[in-house]
Structure 1
Amino acid sequence: MPLNWRRLVAPGITAFVTFWLLIALGVWQLQRLKWKEGILAAIHQAEISAPIPLPEHPTPFEKVSIAGSWIPGKAALYGDEVHDSPNGPVPGGELIMPLRRPNGQVVLVDLGWVPQVLPVPRAEPPGLTEAVGYLHAPIAPGWFAGTDDPGQGLYYTFDPQKIGAGMGLTVAPYILISMGPKPPPGSMAPQPAQSLPTPPNNHYEYALTWFGFALVLIFEFIFFARKRLLDL
């Protein structure tokens, strides 16, 4: 082998391995694309279907129903989101109330955003009722989250155990995010969620990125090899 071509052996092997690694990453993203499309199809089907009774091992992508009775006089407010209105910005938060199931388990229900600065329980009718929505796991507070005030029922930590303890209750390890129609404009009623959570689906773009890197690598190696050979 001529000496000048020997100088390309090590870089060529490195480029060859890197090229197929990039191709493998692109193919992996295409496989994940198919997997994610299956999840999104299941979420869409759940949204257009009737809610299912709360299963033993629920997922956050199912629309479920929970039967129970509201525990009167208890409520909490999560967050401090400001909404716009014709009269200007309106402060408020997510109204959370406890629902006791027939088996005794208490589930916290996020009824939606309300224009309140302190939690005021809704006057729900007594007796057995049904809450529909999806389940949400606890969320760790961010660096700049406010300080929880259990005495006032104000929380910046989305933690059912902590919120439940502030109410003097032992609760399920998740919160039901209520789903339902939007109240009319100007209403003081909570604004429930309108859809199930949807995970992002960027795998096609990721696949194109990896394949693009592989293509760039080919041209870069051609220019590199040409320059090294011509420099001899």
Structure 2
Amino acid sequence: MARMIWPLVFGIGGAAILVALGVWQVQRLAWKEAVLADIDARIMAAPMAIPDQPDSQADRYLPVEAEGVIGDTFIRVLVSQRRIGAGYRVISPFETGGRVVLLDRGFIPVAEDLPAAPEGRVTVIGNLHWPDEVTGATPVPDLEENIWFARDVPALAEALGTAPILIIARNVSETEGVLTPLPVDTSGIPNDHLSYAITWFSLALIWLGMTLYLLWRIRQRMI
């Protein structure tokens, strides 16, 4: 029996650690779901005017309504849409009465020609955002083809001569043909805690199974 004590202790201890990690991921899942619900509620709240000095953290996802003129210049950011394929997010300057900000006008497939910006003043309802899309693997912009690979707000603002404030359009009072708004939502925020929890609990079961098999082998040798 003494030969079975340490494998038993090791097996139970290892399984307990794995179960604890699974429980922790379940707790993280509840926390993340609450965070996402809060963001969803914030995104769909009543829009307000753009703050004088918006903060990239405190005002992230803030719903805003602004009236102004969309500039003729633009930058295309390469993206992909499910069931549609490759296309571009179109970013243009948006003059809102003394201040020019960035406007994410929406998505256009690569095969389509970009229509001219609406003439005159338009009303835009959308959300402020500072996307965190730049990684070490992000290619540098192709300035000759006017194609970027991430929405780097400070760099976009410098290139288009605007304030580093980005409105992602949810609705524009003047339709823009093939351009389709891609509003802010929480679908891009990772929430893998359930799969992590299942992984840890599965490993705990495998660990226990291996422990029982090892104990059975030891017992067979003792007989």
Structures share fold, TM-score greater than 0.5: yes
Equivalent in the alignment of 1:49: 45
Aligned match for 1:35, one of 31, 36, 57 = 31
Q: Equivalences for 1:92-107 in 2 at 5 Å? A: 92-100=87-95, 104=99, 106-107=100-101
Give 1:225 deviation, angstroms. Answer: 0.8
The residue type paired with residue 192 of structure 1 is: P
**Aligned equivalent of 1:79:** 78
For the residues of structure 1 that align with 2:30 and 2:37, how far apart are their CA atoms?
Answer: 11
Residue 150 (1) aligns with residue 143 (2): yes
Q: Percent identity?
A: 23
Alignment of 1:146-185 (within 5 A): 148-150=141-143, 153-167=146-160, 169-172=161-164, 175-180=166-171
1:197 and 2:186 correspond: yes
CA contact (8 A) 2:42 2:62 kept: yes
Aligned length: 215
SS at match of 1:196: coil
Q: TM-score, normalised by structure 1?
A: 0.71
Structure 2 counterpart of 1:69: 68
Q: Secondary structure at the match of 2:129?
A: strand
Query: Which deviations, in whole Å up to 9, do the C-alpha atoms of 1:146-185 show, x marking residues without a partner?
Result: x623355332342223333333x2531x63322138x99x
Structure 1 CA distance for aligned equivalents of residues 213 and 167 of structure 2: 58
Amino acid at match of 2:8: G
* Separation (CA, whole Å) in 2 of partners of 1:84 and 1:37: 27
Deviations 1:5-43 (A, max 9, x none): 332333233222211111111111111121122123223
Tell me how far apart the structure 1 counterparts of residues 162 and 192 of structure 2 sit (CA, whole Å): 39
Shift of 1:191: 0.5
For 1:114 and 1:200, the matched residues in 2 are separated by 25
- TM superposition shift of 1:194: 4.5
3-state DSSP of counterpart to 2:107: strand
Of 193, 207, 216, the residue aligned with 2:206 is 216
Aligned equivalent of 1:133:
127
- The whole-number CA distance in structure 2 between the counterparts of 1:25 and 1:163 is 42
Moved more, 17-26 or 45-54: 45-54
